[in-house]
Amino acid sequence: MIYRDIPENFNPKFEVVSCYLEHDGQILLLLRQDHKSEGNKWGMPAGKIDQGESELKAIVRETREETGQEIPFDQFEYLSKVYVRYPDYDFIYHMFKAQLTDRPQVVLSEGEHKDYQWIAPQAALELDLVKDNQECILLVYQNKLLC
């Protein structure tokens, strides 16, 4: 479950960054490899923040690693953070957006993802998304939070 405000007894195990890469009204989604956590599900470029790394440096790194794109720091817009509570652990989820003028040639990290697509945010809600990504898309694109 995701929350805008810190839930009671929240104890984050780690922090994650994600990015809505946008081009021409569509966002980039990546299909996770079967063997990964949340395998065979769609999600944004995302990953854990390394020790001592800022949120911005982490999203630049994750975007480069997962898509092959070297996006300048100043193109990222920090949107929000939410607090995520799973039965076994809690974590903080930071969301960014980057508006791209040209649709880039995506180069996937084969160990992590097996496909990608550009899709309208509303249409993305119909896909089999990584847990809680539907709520995050609604928060970012419709300013709605389901819980």
**Residues 13-48 as b or e (16 or more Cβ within 10 Å = b):** eebbbbbbbeeeebbbbbbbbeeeeeeebbbbbbbe
Question: Are 91 and 128 a contacting pair, CB within 8 Å?
Answer: no
pLDDT at 108: 95
> Is pLDDT at 143 greater than 80 in this prediction?
no
pLDDT tens for residues 44-72?
Answer: 999 999 999 999 999 999 999 999 999 99
> Is pLDDT at 20 greater than 90 in this prediction?
yes
pLDDT tens for residues 76-134?
Answer: 999 999 999 999 999 999 999 999 999 999 999 888 999 999 999 999 999 999 999 99
Per-residue pLDDT band for 144 (boundaries 50, 70, 90) equals low
> Is pLDDT at 146 greater than 70 in this prediction?
no
> Is pLDDT at 145 greater than 70 in this prediction?
no
Query: pTM, whole model, 2 decimals?
Result: 0.93
pLDDT at 147: 44
Question: Are 36 and 1 a contacting pair, CB within 8 Å?
Answer: no
**Residues 83-102 as b or e (16 or more Cβ within 10 Å = b):** bbbeeeebbbbbbbbbeeee
Tokens coding 62: 């994750």
> Is pLDDT at 142 greater than 90 in this prediction?
no
Domains of the chain with CATH codes:
2-142 (3.90.79.10)
